């Protein structure tokens, strides 16, 4: 039965050779494997013909163990170590058979059937192990194919999700742009409402500039007349008037200048730069603009404007055009409310809009009060929401108060409080830290 050892060695070499196929190792080992398998066959033939049974067995086992030993020391065979290990029992049976045959020849001769069975069993077991490990390998291979498939799937999904994420980011960016555009258009809408007010506000100082220049020219003629008459005193008095007029021209020129600058500031995208600002001046300016803006649309409208501006108010750090927008929005709302109430209540109603400023601790407080229609309880909660408006479609963006809230609360760490009684009026209280 010595053929089994050589057969095992031969098959082992062929199997490894087969495993190495299609791997980079094939080129390195392929020739050696062929030589080795040939050598095993030749060796078997030689040994079989020339030597006795005991030596056949021992040499067969030695060949097997030699191959296993050699393979064990080579790094390239590490993954196949299991295939070599399972030859140990066969080699062991070979050694035992050989030694027994040599030492106790009679015993071996009488029982050699058992030794053959042991050899065959070890061979079969080895083969079974190989088959099992091969199956395992195939399973592993299947698993790795499945893994690859899964990885591919995961990669596909990841790509899909990444794409979705990018789309979402794009949409978000679009929304942000739209929001910025909305804010800008809200500004422009409120500016549009202001146009008439601004025109009136600029017209007045311009009239003064023109009138005072005209009258000054006349005064110079008169002064020349007085001088030629020799009335120096009167000429001096006229000169004094002219000087005064020039100051007035300058004053009204600056007034118009301030209005135009304010308008530009209002329309410009906010710079978000906080600077010390005089809240009284800001409130006064925008109150007039809002009032004249409304009057330009409704000429019969008239309201009493009450202002209580606290003197010596400290300047507060703010973005003036933003706070200006808040005030403008509150004034516009107040005028809208009193106008609506006037339309409903008739002549007996005296529309009043009041603006108070004061210092409350470390906050500047601005109160805008009106005796208009008020805010019904059921919508009080909603008035700061974006796009909520009670105005007819196309007349309000619904962004005024929501932007005001953002400006005061988020950008200036301030507060907006609302008190209102349905049908009696509203009061908005803004406080901004000094």
Partner 1 sequence: MKILVVDDEADVQPLFLQRFRREIRDHEFEFDFALSGEDALNYLHDKHSEVVLILSDINMPGMSGLELLSRIRHEYDEPPPMVMMITAYGDEENHRQAMDRGANDFLTKPLDFNLLKEKLRTFSTE
State the residues that interact with partner 1 by CB under 8 A. 200, 203-204, 206-208, 210-212, 214-215, 218-219, 222, 241, 244-245, 248, 251-252, 291-292, 295-296, 299-300, 302-305
Question: Which residue shows structure tokens 């296993």?
Answer: 68
Task: Report, in Å, the least distance between residue 199 CB and partner 1.
Answer: 9
Question: Which residue shows structure tokens 């020039």?
Answer: 246
Strand pairing class (304-309; 352-360): parallel
Strand pairing class (415-421; 425-433): antiparallel
> Please, which residue, 173 or 207, has the CB nearer to partner 1?
207
Task: Report, in Å, the least distance between residue 288 CB and partner 1.
Answer: 9
> Please, which residue, 73 or 299, has the CB nearer to partner 1?
299
> Please, which residue, 32 or 220, has the CB nearer to partner 1?
220
> Please, which residue, 43 or 301, has the CB nearer to partner 1?
301
Q: E strand or H helix at 354, and its extent?
A: strand 352-360
Task: Report, in Å, the least distance between residue 203 CB and partner 1.
Answer: 6
Which residue pairs from 24-27 have beta carbons closer than 8 angstroms and sit at least 24 positions apart in sequence? 25/76
> Please, which residue, 303 or 330, has the CB nearer to partner 1?
303
What are the structure tokens assigned to 42, written together? 């030749």
> Please, which residue, 17 or 204, has the CB nearer to partner 1?
204
Q: Is 314 left (phi over 0), alpha (psi -120 to 50) or beta?
A: beta
> Please, which residue, 216 or 333, has the CB nearer to partner 1?
216
Task: Report, in Å, the least distance between residue 307 CB and partner 1.
Answer: 10
Task: Report, in Å, the least distance between residue 374 CB and partner 1.
Answer: 23
Task: Report, in Å, the least distance between residue 365 CB and partner 1.
Answer: 23
Task: Report, in Å, the least distance between residue 257 CB and partner 1.
Answer: 16
Q: What share of the chain is helix, strand, coil (3-state, %, to 5)?
A: 70, 10, 15
In residues, how long is the chain?
434
CA distances from 254 to 116, 242, 250, 267 (A): 123, 18, 6, 20
Specify whether the CB–CB gap between 401 and 329 falls below 8 A. Answer: yes
Task: Report, in Å, the least distance between residue 208 CB and partner 1.
Answer: 6
134 C-beta neighbours (distance < 10 Å), count: 13
What is the C-alpha to C-alpha distance for residues 131 and 82, in angstroms, rounded to an integer?
12
Task: Report, in Å, the least distance between residue 361 CB and partner 1.
Answer: 32
What are the structure tokens assigned to 415, written together? 């507060």
> Please, which residue, 222 or 422, has the CB nearer to partner 1?
222
What is the C-alpha to C-alpha distance for residues 342 and 11, in angstroms, rounded to an integer?
110
Which residue pairs from 68-73 have beta carbons closer than 8 angstroms and sit at least 24 positions apart in sequence? 71/16
Phi, psi of 400 (to 5 degrees): -50, -60
CA atoms within 13 A on the CB side of 405: 13
> Please, which residue, 166 or 214, has the CB nearer to partner 1?
214
Task: Report, in Å, the least distance between residue 258 CB and partner 1.
Answer: 16
> Please, which residue, 84 or 291, has the CB nearer to partner 1?
291
Task: Report, in Å, the least distance between residue 216 CB and partner 1.
Answer: 8
What is the C-alpha to C-alpha distance for residues 32 and 80, in angstroms, rounded to an integer?
17
Question: Which residue shows structure tokens 């000169």?
Answer: 239
> Please, which residue, 230 or 361, has the CB nearer to partner 1?
230
Specify whether the CB–CB gap between 416 and 430 falls below 8 A. Answer: yes
């Amino acid at each position: 039965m010595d053929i089994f050892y050589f057969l095992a060695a031969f098959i082992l070499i062929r199997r490894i050779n087969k495993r190495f196929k299609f791997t980079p190792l094939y080129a390195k080992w392929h020739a050696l494997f062929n030589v080795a398998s040939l050598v095993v066959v030749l060796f078997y033939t030689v040994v079989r013909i020339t030597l006795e049974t005991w030596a056949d067995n021992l040499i067969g086992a030695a060949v097997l163990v030699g191959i296993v030993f050699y393979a064990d020391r080579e790094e390239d065979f590490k993954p196949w170590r299991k295939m070599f290990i399972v030859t140990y029992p066969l080699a062991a049976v070979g050694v035992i058979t050989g030694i027994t045959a040599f030492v106790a020849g009679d015993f071996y001769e009488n029982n050699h059937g058992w030794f053959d069975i042991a050899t065959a069993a070890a061979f079969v077991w080895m083969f079974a192990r190989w088959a099992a490990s091969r199956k395992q390998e195939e399973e592993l291979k299947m698993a790795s194919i499945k893994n690859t498939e899964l990885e591919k799937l995961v990669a596909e999904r990841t790509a899909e999700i990444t794409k979705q994420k990018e789309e979402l980011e794009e949409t978000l960016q679009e929304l942000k742009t739209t929001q910025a555009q909305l804010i800008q258009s809200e500004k422009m809408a409120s500016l549009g409402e202001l146009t008439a007010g601004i025109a009136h506000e600029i017209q007045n100082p311009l009239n003064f500039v023109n009138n005072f220049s005209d009258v000054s020219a006349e005064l110079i003629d008169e002064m020349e007349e007085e001088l030629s008459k020799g009335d120096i005193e009167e000429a001096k008095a006229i000169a004094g008037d002219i000087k005064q007029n020039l100051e007035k021209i300058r004053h009204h020129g600056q007034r118009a200048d301030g209005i135009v600058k304010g308008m530009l500031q209002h329309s410009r995208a906010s710079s978000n730069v906080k600077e010390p600002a005089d809240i009284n001046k800001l409130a006064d300016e925008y109150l007039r603009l809002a009032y004249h803006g409304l009057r330009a649309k409704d000429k019969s409208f008239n309201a009493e404007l009450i202002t209580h501006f606290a003197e010596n108010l400290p300047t507060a750090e703010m973005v003036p055009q933003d706070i200006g927008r808040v005030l403008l929005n509150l004034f516009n709302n107040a005028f809208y409310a009193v106008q609506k109430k006037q339309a409903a209540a008739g002549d007996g109603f005296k529309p009043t809009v009041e603006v108070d400023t004061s210092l409350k601790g470390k906050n500047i407080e601005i109160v805008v009060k009106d005796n208009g229609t008020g805010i019904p309880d059921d919508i009080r909660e909603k008035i700061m929401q974006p796009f909520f408006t009670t105005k007819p479609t196309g007349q309000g963006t619904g962004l005024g108060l929501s932007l005001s809230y953002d400006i005061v609360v988020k950008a200036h760490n301030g507060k907006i409080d609302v008190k209102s009684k349905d049908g009696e009026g509203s009061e908005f209280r803004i406080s901004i830290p000094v």
